[in-house]
Chains A and B, each alone.
Chain A
Amino acid sequence: MSDATAEATRDEICVVAVAECFRGDGERLCNPIGTIPMIGGRLARESFEPHLVMTDGFGMFTSSVLPPNTDPYESVDGHLQLNEVVEAWNPYPQMFPVLWNGRRHVMMGGSQIDQFGNQNFACIGDWHKPKAQLLGFRGAPGNTINHTTSYWIPNHNPKVFVPKVDVVSGVGYDRARELGPEASRFHEVRRVVTNLAVLDFETPDNRMRLRSGHPGVTVDQIVEATGFELVIPEAVAETRLPTDDELRLIREVIDPKDLRKTEVKP
């Protein structure tokens, strides 16, 4: 069982780094996909961004704090019973209008990402006859051109952080720039959070920059795990530690079954 007083572990530092991505979002759909992203989003809402809207992972916006992988739907006497507080019904046919409307910040995964934040989870190799078919374009094209996107990469290595992605499914800054200011006016890739570091694009030409390294990780380790040249600031910050209150929320309220530890080894 979790001990609220024990020192923060890597997975918990990642959770807080994810939560920080949503700081300042106010009343927006916070839509993190994945275990640590989901926990991080819930942490943001339970602490410094209380007006965030979140889904139950299926068709509802819920104010309940559901631990990751909870299925709140139960069949009772031939009817669907929802074991959660529903704020609004948001089935898939409604999700697309919400994202086209722009009031959303998604956190997706990626099999490959390059220095301008172009992301690929469609396939590896030539799209016409892929070496490895992955998810397909899924929602990445619509998401990245319509609203804020961040990424979660649980295994930071040079096979993911590549000079050139095989297929661009999520739009990066160089591609957005080519489209011109009108077509790209809703495009924002805010952060990339990994098991080693937090990265952003806050550079003059929007090249990926090391924003902070997680405690215990050296800059050399991060550079070595990245297959292109990262912008390294003169003084590299350290990713902040969770507060006592955040640790309590993570361990006792949001993720009591320690599912976060299955995604990042402590």
Chain B
Amino acid sequence: MSTLPDKRMTEDEVVGELRSGMTIGIGGWASRRKPMSLIRAILRSDLTDLTIVSYGGPDIGLLCAAGKVRKAVYGFVSLDTIPLEPHFRLARQSGAIEAMELDEGMLLLGLQAAAWRIPFIPTRAGLGTDLPIVMPELQMVQSPYPGPDGGPGEEMLAMPALPLDAALIHQNRADQGGNGQFLGSDLYMDDLFAMAAENTYMSCEQIIPTEDFARHGSFHTQRISRLMTTGVIEAPGGAHFTECPPDYGRDEAFQKQYAASASSPELWDEFKQQWIDLESEAEYQQAVAARRAEGGSR
């Protein structure tokens, strides 16, 4: 008889499996369904020198502000309702981080190549732009097949695979074996992040028995298989302050406070003290609940 493995872990146990200098992929998109409880655990840890690969939002911003990032690999970094991520901008403008700034589709191809264990995927994206000029590590490749007019093969940009030491993703539901379910309108590239990584740690709003997935959404929503996951973390509110529909929307007031904290070192210290320098995710969630009870004006 088959048995479901038990992959349940805590955020701090996940951090215990990560090492400084690792390349870590983060799922979600901008300020949408980010595995924030795992990010918060990294912020509490002494991990450093990380390479972060992400369709970036506050994950990259927070990790930059806390000095955890050596290099960021991204197509954009945005908070959606606040188009430019202020903490990330500071890091870029001060030269504090190295950057691999890609076309959004190229980032998809890099993850896809890593997921398929192939060295690169050819693409037209990037041709004629400054991408290969400012990032000379991006190489060209000639098609071995004749071009459309029968001439020599086309020159394409060879988007290199972006293999990850670890991926962090957040789903709405999961079972203890590491199968995941998204209930919003978009999986984003979470499945590619999971397959591109040596180990994938998936947080979720709620761990449920496998047979209950069907009560929450159609089978089309069950896109993360336990083949792709190493650990599963039950983290209600784990995507806060990013959105996680249909469970909750973005906490815009909180996000505003976070963004404003980039305007001076004092405001950042205050934000850090209040929301990062905490004992645990549980303490964070209690603080968020208290803030909400006060009408979000704190």
Contacts and interface: CB of A to CB of B under 8 A. Distances in A.
A100 interface: yes
Nearest to A178: B128
Nearest to B246: A75
A50 interface: no
Contacts of B154: 182-183
B200 interface: no
A206 interface: no
A196 B143 CA distance: 44
Interface string A95-139: 010011000000000000000000000110001111111111111
A162 interface: no
A135 B105 contact: no
Determine the main DSSP class of B at the interface with A. loop
B117 interface: no
A129 B147 contact: no
A168 interface: yes
B75 A138 contact: yes
Interface string B94-129: 010000011111101000000000000001111111
How many chain A residues sit at the interface, stated as a range, is 35 or more
Interface string B242-255: 00011111000000
Interface in A150-193: 167-171, 175-176, 178-179, 182-187
B209 interface: no
B42 interface: no
A141 B129 contact: yes
Given A75-B246, A93-B187, A145 B128 contact: yes
Contacts of B129: 137, 140-141, 144-145, 168-171, 175
The 10 A-B pairs of least Cβ separation, nearest first, read: A142-B125, A75-B246, A171-B128, A59-B185, A91-B186, A175-B128, A141-B103, A133-B92, A142-B105, A96-B105
Interface of B: 29, 74-78, 83-84, 88-89, 92-93, 95, 101-106, 108, 123-131, 134, 147-149, 151, 154-155, 183-189, 192, 216-217, 245-249
